[in-house]
């Protein structure tokens, strides 16, 4: 793992555990085995760490979501692929969900706008596929369905009381049901 990626992953864990304002540059550096000032070789500020962290995951969700959706032969398969991708993210990157929820207001304005833009595109990716599956579904309803599925899946940091494999199965089944895509393999 590159040093920059290590810093982002470590900072995500620290921010999730103690909150953005409860973590100093020195804390991040110490957790990475470098001095606080050495962190400035990689990031201009703690705000820049938070911004890159949340912009990066928003870009990754959209990029991989588009790839999986585009590779699917039909809208139901695309939605199943999107659910699988988002469940993978939620189980792998729990700290980022916590940071996004709790420390959103600490995000610099320009980064917040970029994250919002990326997230809107991600929601619309899901909404477009939902509208293909559910004939006549209004766009606002499709977006609401996508947000509801995200809420269910993104509850993982707080509700994952099962081993990951069982949690994956539960979240996938519940999201598929909520989106009205029917059971897998049917």
Mean pLDDT computed over 125-141? 98
Q: What is the pLDDT of residue 67?
A: 98
Residue 135 has pLDDT above 80, yes or no: yes
Mean pLDDT computed over 153-161? 81
pLDDT tens-digit readout, 71-125: 999 999 999 999 999 999 999 999 999 999 999 999 999 999 999 999 999 999 9
Model's pTM, two decimal places? 0.92
CA-CA distance, 155 to 126, in Å (whole number)?
18
Domains of the chain: 46-179 (1.10.357.10)
pLDDT class of 38 with cuts at 50, 70, 90:
confident
Query: In sequence order, what are the residues at sequence separation of 6 or more whose Cβ sits closer than 8 angstroms to the Cβ of residue 144?
Result: none
Residue 43 has pLDDT above 70, yes or no: yes
């Amino acid at each position: 793992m590159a040093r920059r990626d290590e810093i982002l992953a470590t900072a995500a864990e620290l921010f999730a555990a103690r909150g953005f304002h409860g973590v100093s540059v020195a804390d991040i550096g110490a957790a990475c085995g470098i001095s606080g000032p050495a962190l400035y070789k990689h990031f201009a500020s703690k705000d820049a760490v938070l911004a890159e962290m949340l912009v990066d995951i928003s870009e990754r969700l959209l990029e991989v979501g588009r790839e999986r959706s585009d590779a699917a032969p039909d809208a139901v398969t695309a939605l199943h692929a999107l659910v699988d991708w988002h469940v993978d993210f939620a189980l792998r990157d729990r700290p980022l969900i916590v940071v996004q929820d709790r420390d959103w207001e600490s995000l610099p304005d320009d980064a917040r706008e970029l994250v919002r833009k990326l997230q809107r595109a991600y929601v619309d990716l899901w909404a477009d596929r939902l509208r293909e599956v559910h004939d006549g579904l209004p766009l606002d309803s499709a977006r609401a369905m996508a947000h509801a599925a995200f809420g269910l899946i993104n509850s993982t940091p707080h509700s994952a009381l099962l081993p990951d494999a069982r949690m994956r199965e539960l979240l996938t089944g519940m999201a598929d049901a909520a989106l009205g895509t029917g059971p897998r393999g049917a």
